[in-house]
Amino acid sequence: MADLTGKGMFSAKTVCIVTGASRGIGRSITVNFASKFPPGSLVIALSRDVEQLAVTKTLSTKANPAVTIVTHVFDQGTLDQHVYETLLKDSLQGRPASEFQQAVIIHNAGSVGSEFCRNLTDVNQVSHYLNVNVAGLVALNAQFMQVFKDIPSKVVVNISSLSALQPMASWGLYCSGKAFRDMFLRTFALEQPNVRVLNYAPGPVDTNMFHKEGIQETKAEDHLEALRAMEKNLLAPDTTVNRLITILEKNVFESGAHIDYYDEL
């Protein structure tokens, strides 16, 4: 981003990867970012849900026909090394990485997985959760850096949460996963001073994850009551994504910082 001479990240011909792009915040990021990128840019939308990815592609193309939208079915919990090594290269569809002025990745994919810590006796369940929310992000981020190593301007955004900073009963895996992602990308920012890195907490958002994995599956009663209270003031996905866009456009944050929707800019 620093290489764009103050014009802002949405002025550059960009390749942008969005995980968890089939609905909610991920879909909103894909559509809104696509609407702002200049002609010739490429947005790669990743998700497990092929049908909902098609909807995201239609909405994004309508928002900006001059930007190419590529969808790719991707399970971030996979342990298939070949998938990680070929995913981004295949998604470029023959276009050279050097064609782009900027590379952006938005790490949005994730899950809640509500359970009390004392009950996490199934090692396969725990391992799968960590594969989706931690290992998959680490591996994909490294592949992003390899594939786009020659692009001087790079931006990495992790969709974080208040849960990365504050424990919440029966969300032990979720809080730990979010905390890991934040710290991993803070370390990554330290190692890669030429990459702009942001941990963005979007606030309580009106998504399927909030209602299903949050309201319906949360097991701690006090935590559930707090979620139900939030339900009255949920943010629309576009509202929080527009805040993210503002933060990125202003580009004054410390690389690796954790910034919440409600923080003053």
Q: What are the tens digits of pLDDT across the range 50-77?
A: 999 999 999 999 999 999 999 999 999 9
More reliable by pLDDT, 116 or 88? 88
- Give residue-wise pLDDT tens across range 104-118: 999 999 988 788 899
Question: What's the number of CA atoms in the CB half-sphere (13 Å) around residue 90?
Answer: 12
pLDDT for the residue 6 = 46
263 pLDDT tier (thresholds 50, 70, 90):
very high
Phi-psi domain of 263 (left: phi exceeds 0; alpha: psi -120 through 50; beta: other): beta
Averaged pLDDT score across all residues of the chain: 91
Is there a contact between 165 and 13 (Cβ–Cβ < 8 Å)? no
Does an H or E element contain 44, and which? Answer: strand 42-47
Instruction: State percent of the chain over pLDDT 70.
Output: 88
Whether the predicted pLDDT of 85 surpasses 60:
yes
| Better-predicted residue by pLDDT, 115 or 91 | 91
* DSSP, residue by residue, 52-119: HHHHHHHHHHHH-TTSEEEEEE--TT---HHHHHHHHHHHTTT--GGG-SEEEEEE-------B-GGG
DSSP secondary structure letters along 153-175: EEEEEEE--GGGTS--TTBHHHH
Looking at residue 168, what is its pLDDT? 85
pLDDT for 216 equals: 47
The yes-or-no verdict on residue 262 having pLDDT over 60 is: yes
Across 144-153, 165-174, 203-212, which has the greatest mean pLDDT? Answer: 144-153
| Range name among 5-14, 83-92, 186-195, 231-240 with the lowest pLDDT average | 5-14
pLDDT tens-digit series, residues 171-202: 899 999 999 999 999 999 999 999 999 999 99
